């Protein structure tokens, strides 16, 4: 089980309608200082159909920085479909939607 795989497995545990932060995912898999690698893992997401990568945001509830291929918009739309409302086009209210963990 590589670090990447652990990230993907953890993402699958995030309940629908909730979100997690990169740092939180890193913490939950026992690598609290690997938030950056979590983001990287999701950027190379091998199976977008089965991995809820869109439920992972940065610590402010903002969507990821890079918008190559329009992924920010895709992520926003996916989250809206799960009933999550946005403060602005790419920000949600973490205190309401943040996943509590396991």
The residue ranges that bind DNA (CB under 7 A) are 2-4, 21-23, 31, 33-45, 53-54, 56, 58-61, 63-66, 71, 75, 87, 91
DSSP letter for 62, please: B
Distance of closest approach, residue 52 Cβ to DNA, in angstroms: 10
Distance of closest approach, residue 73 Cβ to DNA, in angstroms: 11
Q: CB-wise, 4 or 82, nearer to DNA?
A: 4
Residues 6+ apart with CB under 8 A from 70: none
Q: CB-wise, 22 or 99, nearer to DNA?
A: 22
Rounded distance between C-alpha atoms, residue 17 and residue 27, angstroms: 21
Phi, psi of 11 (to 5 degrees): -60, -40
């Amino acid at each position: 089980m590589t670090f990447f795989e652990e990230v993907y497995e953890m993402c699958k545990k995030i309940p629908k309608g909730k979100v997690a932060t990169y740092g939180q995912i890193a913490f939950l898999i026992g690598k609290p200082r690997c938030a950056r690698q979590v983001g990287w893992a999701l950027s190379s997401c091998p199976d977008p159909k089965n991995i809820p990568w869109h439920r992972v945001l940065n610590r402010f509830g903002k969507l990821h920085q890079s918008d190559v291929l329009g992924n920010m918009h895709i992520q926003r739309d996916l989250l809206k479909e799960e009933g999550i409302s946005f403060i602005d086009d790419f920000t949600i209210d973490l205190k309401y939607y943040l996943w509590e963990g396991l």
